[in-house]
């Protein structure tokens, strides 16, 4: 028996589920109606963060993006933003980089899923691991294949095949 292709979730369904599950994340229409943004508190391990979850609701292939507004995420002492693990690094404004919450190649997110049930819990988990990483430099969250930060990618490119620096 063939299964029917599932339809993308509507904006109203996403808003209703978010209001039910995460009532402190308040919806707003931004960028001339192109995005729905949910803004509010989200807990990591020990801290609460003000986050913005942005979703281009009219694009069925759009991936929700999570940005930490306050307190801003920061690199560990002696490192830079490119060394932050699992960050969709914005080289122009690193503090505005979105969290990398899943591996798009693994099909972990699609528009038939609910943002409140997937993206928000993943963001909370990311913040949890971020706080622990800040203490000891070890990222304990799950990893997509490959390097965990832009800095790691750049260092690998600088190394010669025999492990020496190019």
Two structure tokens written together for 133: 């990483």
The C-alpha atoms of residue 55 and residue 38 are separated, in whole angstroms, by 9
- Pairing relation of β-strands 35-43 and 65-70? unpaired
Q: Please give the pLDDT value at position 103.
A: 84
Tell me the mean pLDDT per 10 residues along the chain, length 166.
Answer: 73 97 97 95 96 94 95 93 90 90 86 96 96 91 72 77 60
* Backbone angles phi and psi of 145, in degrees to 5: -60, 145
Q: Quick one: pLDDT at residue 141?
A: 84
Q: Which CATH number fits domain 11-158: 3.10.110, 3.40.50, 3.10.620, 2.60.40?
A: 3.10.110
pLDDT at position 161 = 63
> Where in the chain are the domains?
11-158
- Residue 36 bridge partners (DSSP): 29, 55
pLDDT at position 160, please?
A: 57
- The predicted-structure confidence for 20-38, as pLDDT tens digits, reads as follows 999 999 999 999 999 999 9
Question: Are 112 and 8 within 8 A, CB to CB?
Answer: yes
């Amino acid at each position: 028996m063939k299964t029917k292709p599932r339809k993308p979730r509507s904006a109203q369904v996403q808003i209703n589920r978010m209001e039910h599950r995460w009532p402190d994340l308040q919806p707003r229409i931004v960028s001339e109606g192109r995005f729905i943004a949910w803004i509010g508190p989200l807990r990591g391990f020990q801290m609460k963060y003000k986050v913005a979850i942005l979703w281009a609701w009219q694009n069925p292939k759009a991936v929700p993006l999570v940005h930490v507004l306050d307190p801003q995420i920061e690199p560990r002492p002696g490192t830079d933003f490119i060394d932050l693990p699992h960050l969709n690094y914005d080289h122009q404004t690193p503090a505005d980089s979105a969290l990398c919450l899943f591996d798009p190649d693994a099909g972990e997110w699609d528009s038939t899923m609910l943002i409140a049930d997937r993206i928000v819990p993943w963001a909370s988990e990311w913040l949890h691991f971020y706080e622990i990483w800040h203490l000891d430099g070890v990222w304990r969250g799950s990893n997509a294949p490959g390097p965990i930060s832009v800095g790691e990618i750049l260092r690998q490119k600088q190394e010669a095949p025999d492990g020496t620096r190019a």
